[in-house]
């Protein structure tokens, strides 16, 4: 049973990779044509799992975190998973300064009420780049 969360993480991480690896296809519902996990060949399963296996083996200090992410993924709704994918894509395209700002904002917002988070978001959008840098200096991210 422990393999299921790891498998879910592997599949979630591979979705962007498979989209980039194959040419665009016409929009169609291929859900019915894709086999269930139990119907995949051993080679197909290995193809899906190999990148995760390599990442797992290459990063022993990240294994707890990877496992926790896989468990959380199992409990997400489809909408939450979509939002997570959008967030991962945004993160991928951020520069180092933007990532530091995002970490600082996330850390600060983590313990706030919805109203306070909304107020901070509005304040952030009204700030100049220099004011944002100063804010991050005054509110450094907890885990850089």
User: 62 with 113, same domain?
Assistant: no
Neighbours of 79 (CB within 10 A): 8
Which of 2-11, 24-33, 63-72, 132-141 has the least mean pLDDT? 2-11
Are 41 and 106 in contact by the 8 Å Cβ rule? The answer is no
Residues 7 and 73 in one domain: yes
Q: Which domain holds residue 10?
A: 1-18+36-77
In angstroms, the CA 136 to CA 134 distance is 5
**pTM of this structure:** 0.55
- The pLDDT of residue 122 is 95
* Whether 99 and 59 share a structural domain: no
Quick: pLDDT tens for 93-122. Answer: 999 999 999 999 989 998 899 999 999 999
Query: In the chain, how many domains are there?
Result: 2
């Amino acid at each position: 049973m422990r393999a299921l969360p790891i498998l879910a993480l592997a599949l979630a991480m591979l979705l962007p990779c498979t989209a980039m690896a194959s040419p665009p296809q016409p929009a169609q519902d291929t859900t019915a044509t894709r086999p269930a996990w139990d119907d995949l060949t051993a080679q197909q399963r290995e193809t899906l799992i190999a990148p995760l296996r390599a990442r797992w083996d290459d990063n022993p200090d990240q294994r707890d975190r990877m496992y926790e992410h896989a468990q959380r993924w199992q409990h997400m709704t489809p909408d939450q998973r979509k939002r997570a994918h959008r967030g991962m894509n945004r993160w991928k395209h951020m520069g180092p300064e933007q990532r530091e700002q995002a970490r600082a904002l996330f850390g600060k917002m983590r313990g706030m009420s919805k109203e306070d988070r909304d107020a901070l978001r509005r304040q952030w959008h009204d700030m100049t780049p220099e004011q944002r840098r100063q804010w991050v200096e005054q509110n450094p991210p907890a885990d850089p």
